[in-house]
Structure 1
């Protein structure tokens, strides 16, 4: 809980003390690709390529046309696969651990200048609400990776994903005439995505954090 409070308090502080012009809010749509992984969760472990799509709002902060709060609502694909390059042909290599979220990132966004076409940076928390979890071809040796399978000898071990997780993200991009934008972003999870795997035999109780590198395109309506 402490980890979620810091980014949230920082963002609320910016919103409280800055001059926010809600009347000049612009709206847009976004889409892109995600390359995701989860630390300390599955064995073997590899990255998953998936997608994101959603809507956003661009809320001006201050009188300059340079600083903004950008909240979004997205479908956000994450999770991982078993495709570790050193595990080809081994049990679990073809596994897919797909987590689909309703995601709410809230970013502080700063353009490098007031120019109409300009680079920008952004940073802020992301809140993920699980809407679907799919596991395919879980390792025969670790059937508990599938959330629908219960192993009698390991009743406290399961591969169910947390219904809610959160993290912090940062990125940069380029805006063409403040309308068409390309953004690269990295989100690092701060919560435990698979708490049921903390007691996995020969596993680890380290935080199983979800990490996502994404490339997206935004179109902001005038």
Structure 2
């Protein structure tokens, strides 16, 4: 049986500036979509995947999220300053267990199979230092601009291409700990991993909606209702 990651980091610390007035008095993960906060959509996926340890980072208006999460079995990693995605994960690692962990953004809504179990099925730690979940642009709702990555025939990733990163991955904690800075993006980690041919990806067969901006709310609700 493959030794799948048992911890997940949920990114919830950002200011949500693209949301404008919607985040003036609440953090972005608390914005309601289809009747419940964004972070609750994420937590359902996590719970369904039976992840043992859930960690969320906090910074902007932290008391609101702290109160919402207090009875949801989520460990909290408070950041006195924004550490970006890589630095936030590095800061939270003492709250997590295992050599490999999931990370997941909290500003997206999904329709289709469980994103985390798809990664579990594809994870090969002997060959990979990170496995990113990607979606073709045709199934990426609310996302503008070009894709982020291209996949080769072996599943390795290169920059560019028409596949969009969904904000979900498995990554080895050593790759994060090896970065000496305290504030850094996960892009820095991925670049180092890619140098050794150990940055991999797999595609999501369902639909994904970016809810990082106000227009994404209606798009996500329509996607969830679409039959």
Q: Quick one: higher RCO (CA 8 Å, sep 6+), 1 or 2?
A: 2
TM-score by length of 1: 0.23
* Structure with the bigger percentage of helix: 2
Largest Rg, 1 or 2:
1
TM-score (norm 2): 0.22
Task: Answer 1 or 2: which has greater strand percent.
Answer: 1
